[in-house]
């Protein structure tokens, strides 16, 4: 589990792992119930995620947009998905981050008051059957590169950075906020 403070009073807990879904609706109901004390709880596919920093950037941008009333959606969970996928259209963001019936590599994200995110995330994982495990983000890189339309030339330009793909994706997330 990764935990990061995102503003004066909120923190984010991020877990990666697997979930076996029988019915998506049932899983979402359990998630909603488990996250009642949170500001946001979201469970999504990890297929285009390249690092925990990618998730933190999306979470911070979503929280800032909601706080500043600059988001075009009211639900923090939807704004998070828009930021995570750097997608303006809500339907596309949902589609590109959706979990399917069966086994899924997934990401569980909780935003809550400082000191509460970890407990809420653990409870949400337990309620939904989410099993925390390590994900090899390098396996996601080819699909993420294609999904975010990142060229070899762009990665070459960022080659002095530790993770050029991560930097390019975080830039896409930031640009989404600027171009609204």
State the Cα–Cα distance between residues 169 and 166, nearest whole angstrom: 5
- For residue 68, the model assigns a pLDDT of 86
Share of the chain above pLDDT 70, in %: 98
Average pLDDT (95-108) is: 93
The Cα 99–Cα 87 span in angstroms is 17
pLDDT tens for residues 31-53? 988 888 889 999 999 999 999 99
Instruction: Report domain extents, the chain.
Output: 2-178
Residue with tokens 């639900």: 75
Instruction: Tabulate helix, strand, coil % of the chain (nearest 5).
Output: 50, 20, 30
Confidence bin at 179 (pLDDT 50/70/90)? low
Question: CA–CA separation, 116 vs 122, rounded Å?
Answer: 10
Distances (CA, A) of 80 to 42, 133, 139, 160: 8, 22, 23, 29
Cβ-based neighbour number of residue 138 at 10 Å: 9
Closest CA to 145 of 15, 18, 48, 19: 48
pTM, two decimals, is: 0.91
What is the four-CA torsion angle of 159, 54, 105, 96, rounded to 10 degrees?
-100
**Residue 73 DSSP label:** -
Q: Is the pLDDT at 170 greater than 90, yes or no?
A: yes
C-alpha to C-alpha distance for 145 and 72, rounded to whole angstroms: 26
> Does 176 have pLDDT greater than 70?
yes
Q: What integer is the mean pLDDT of 12-38?
A: 91
Q: What is the pLDDT of residue 142?
A: 96
pLDDT of 177: 67
Compute φ and ψ for 107, nearest 5 degrees: -130, 130
Across the chain, mean pLDDT equals: 92
Mean predicted confidence (pLDDT) in 73-88: 93
Task: Please state the φ and ψ torsions of residue 59, each to the nearest 5 degrees.
Answer: -65, -45
CATH of domain 2-178: 3.30.2380.10
pLDDT, mean of residues 28-32 = 89
């Amino acid at each position: 589990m990764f935990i990061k403070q995102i503003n004066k009073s909120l923190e984010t807990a991020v877990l990666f792992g697997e979930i076996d879904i029988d019915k998506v609706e049932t899983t979402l109901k359990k998630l909603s119930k488990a996250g009642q004390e949170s500001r946001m709880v979201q469970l999504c596919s990890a297929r285009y995620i390249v690092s925990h920093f990618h998730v933190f950037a999306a979470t911070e941008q979503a929280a800032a947009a909601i706080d500043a009333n600059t988001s075009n959606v009211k639900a923090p969970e939807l704004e998070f998905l828009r930021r995570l996928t750097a997608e303006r259209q809500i339907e596309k963001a949902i589609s590109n981050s959706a979990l399917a019936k069966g086994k899924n590599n997934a990401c569980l994200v909780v935003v809550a008051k400082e000191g509460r995110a970890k407990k809420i995330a653990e409870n949400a994982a337990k309620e939904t059957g989410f099993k925390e495990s390590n994900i090899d983000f390098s396996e996601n890189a080819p699909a993420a590169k294609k999904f975010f339309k990142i060229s070899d030339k762009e990665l070459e330009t960022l080659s002095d950075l530790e993770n050029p793909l991560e930097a390019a994706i975080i830039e896409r997330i930031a640009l989404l906020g600027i171009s609204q």
